[in-house]
Structure 1
Amino acid sequence: MTPETRRNRSRLAGGGLALLLIAMIAAFMTLGATGNWSFILPYRGEKLLTVLLVAWAVPLSTILFHAISDNRILTPSIMGFDALFVLIQTLLIFFIGSERINILPVQGVFLGEVLVMTGFAMGLYGLLLRRVAGSLELLLLVGIVLGVLFRSISGLLQRMIDPGEFLVLQGRIFASFGGADPQVQAMAAACIGLASAWAFWRLPAIDVMILGRSGAMSVGLSHRRLSLEVFAIVTMLVSASTALVGPITFFGLLVAHATYRMLPGAPLRQTIPVAGLAGALLLVVGQVVLERVLGFDGTVGMAVEFLGGLLFILLLIERAR
């Protein structure tokens, strides 16, 4: 496929997804709306903003992670971000209690969660880079082990807390696109916007990383330094989106591979915008169908995770063959 064909295909895919997304946003904002529009539109608009932030941040982090890991099966969640988020929430409920947490400023809780997850990931990556240059496999192995450790500690503490507190905890650790504080949304948007601007500034160099370590170094690119930069971007994106709505393990994998199939061999500058549109369309369609048509509330994350989990299994089977 020639570069011109790839550009035309990406423009066609992006244009089609954009039109579908606009139509579904209109349906999400208006379908089933009864009562005072001055209340309905801002309420649904806040939820839509959360959906769009996550739909952009998670696929972007996954595609960038694929670029530095040279493995399209792995996701940033494999590093233990989801398990760390659950552990943080469990520790808060166990030691502080849900009543005291509700008194704390939501902006402070969000910022603390982002800082803890970012500090954990960057500390781990920096530690390994100083000891084993270019050993991403070791990084991933340690991330998996720590994820298992975090889940084990969380499971132990969850069995020890009060049943009423456990119900509150369950509501905090499952992905939900509703109820986000506007100031928290603004902080998440700032983190995601900063990381996205950084990513697009470094995108030409990140594209070269697809050639591998030796290929990148042959053109004068500092593979180690750029890997650290990209991992910092991925960390910011995943931390902000997870702290905003909760863990979504396989959403990025699902959207990234759908985009890869639409645009085979396309550079990142074409793949990423289409992935953002595809992710937004998937989540908005899910919200419309599950909330407006079926009458459910807050279950779109579970549906997306189910589809993403199936895709992950299929990818493993395909790779084994």
Structure 2
Amino acid sequence: MVLTFWRRPASRVALLGLVAVLCCIGFMTVNVQTDWQFIIEYRGSRLLALVLTAVALGVSTILFQTITQSRLLTPSLMGFDVLYVLVNTLAMLAVGGSALAEWAPSLRFALQVMLMVALALLLFRLLFSGSVRSLHLMILLGMLAGMLFRELSELGARVLDPSEFGISTGVAQASFARVNTDLLGAAAAALAVGGLLLWRWWRCLDVLSLGRDIAINLGVAHGRVVQGVMAVTAILVSVATVLVGPTLFFGLLIANLAYWFTGSQRHCWTLPASVLAGIICLVGGQLLLEHLLSSTLPLALVIEVAGGLLFIVLLMRGARQ
């Protein structure tokens, strides 16, 4: 009876949900030495930012792996998060940092997200036009694109005056311990918009994972649906990047944890499992390092090392969906 219960993906996702809730409760209550109003305001905003980041990275990675047919490829590995940093720098160069500072933060973020979606769709079309078939070459092109975007953003930031340079580099240097809580409302709104758009193609996701030819034969408008899912992915990547900055291997880590733990390819299980795995890694990891161990070791470093090792293992195995 217990073994049958454990084999169900729903039971495994429920267990992940329980652990994620316990991590959130521990994050809000462990080592509380001041009044609760301050704790709720300080830790609560950080917790919300980490949860939104887990949602954005978990869902965007699963979606990207669905449309690219590979468990190795993620938006971060293909340079899409660094592309947002470049968009942020280009917006300051085009409009001017002082003029852009007069805009409402949510309006600036909305403009950057729209530019990010347009450039991400263009980059996706260039990289996945069908001319490149080798997975290893695809990974190399993605990493080269990420390096190029990073160098261009740094070059553009050097042109800005010192105050604008600090704003620009802040996006590229955020971390899990120092999250951007100023745009929580805008980030939540962007996630809601992405979720509404994704709902339109929800029934097509499992079919897309079967491959282009099968999807077309089953009546899916493959090109249009893929472009729409990629637009949603770009929105989610923008949300994660503006909150915590670029992360290279975190999405890869939580997505593959979701595949392994659920033992399923269905998106009704893998999407929530990846989100819950992200919450456990971010909130639970921050709870462990910051509050229980009082360690100064950055959580981002631990996660990137674990994700990097997983990437090497998957690359050596040639893992594919």
TM-score by length of 1: 0.82
Deviation at 1:272, TM superposition (A): 1.0
Aligned equivalents of 2:91 and 2:196: distance in 1?
Answer: 33
Q: After the TM superposition, which of the residue ranges 142-151 and 206-215 deviates more from structure 2? A: 142-151
Letter in 2 for 1:281: I
- Which residue of the partner structure matches residue 305 of structure 1? 304
- 1:262 maps to 261
Query: Are the structure 2 counterparts of residues 137 and 246 from structure 1 closer, same or farther at C-alpha, using a change threshold of 3 Å?
Result: farther
Q: Kindly tell me: are residues 64 and 135 of structure 1, through their superposed partners in 2, closer, same or farther at Cα, counting changes over 3 Å?
A: farther
The answer as to whether partners of 1:27 and 1:288 remain within 8 angstroms in 2 is yes
Q: Distance in 2 between matches of 1:163 and 1:310?
A: 38
Give 1:227 deviation, angstroms: 1.1
* Deviation sequence 1:175-197 (CA, Å, 0-9, x none): 33445345x21111111122123
Give per-residue Cα distances to partners, 1:76-127, cap 9 Å, x unaligned. Answer: 1233223223334556788999888776643233223322222211244467
2:180 aligned residue? 180
Q: List aligned pairs for 1:172-211, cutoff 5 A.
A: 172-177=171-176, 178=178, 180-181=180-181, 184-211=183-210
Normalising by structure 2, we get a TM-score of 0.82
Aligned equivalent of 1:222: 221
Distance 1:70 1:126, change over 3 A: closer
Cα–Cα, structure 1 residues 86 and 294, in superposed 2: closer, same or farther, change >3 Å? farther
Q: Distance in 1 between matches of 2:179 and 2:127?
A: 38
CA distance in 1, matches of 2:231, 2:132: 14
> Deviations for 1:260-286, whole angstroms, at most 9, x for unmatched residues?
111223311111112111111111111
- Give identity over the alignment, percent: 38
Q: Which amino acid aligns with 2:185?
A: A
Alignment match, 1:246: 245
How many residue pairs get aligned? The number is 312
What's the secondary structure of 1:78's corresponding residue? coil
- Checking the alignment, whether the CA contact within 8 Å between 1:84 and 1:147 is kept in structure 2 is yes
Q: Which amino acid aligns with 1:290?
A: L
Supply the RMSD in Å over aligned alpha carbons: 3.4
Secondary structure class of the residue paired with 1:79: coil
Moved more, 192-201 or 217-226: 192-201
| In 2, Cα distance between equivalents of 1:317 and 1:98 | 45
Which residues of 2 match residues 77-92 of structure 1 at below 5 A?
Answer: 77-88=76-87
1:319 aligned partner: 318
Paired residues of 1:88 and 1:113 also in contact (CA < 8 A): yes
Partner AA of 1:204 in structure 2: R
- For 1:83, the aligned partner's letter is V
CA gap 1:297/1:122 in 2 versus in 1, 3 angstroms: farther
For residues 206-265 of structure 1, the C-alpha deviation after alignment (integer angstroms, 9 at most, x for no partner) is 111122111111112221111111111111111222123211221111001111111223
Name the CA distance, whole Å, in 1 between partners of 2:6 and 2:226: 27
Q: Does the 8 Å contact 1:110/1:244 carry over to 2?
A: no
The answer as to whether partners of 1:7 and 1:270 remain within 8 angstroms in 2 is no
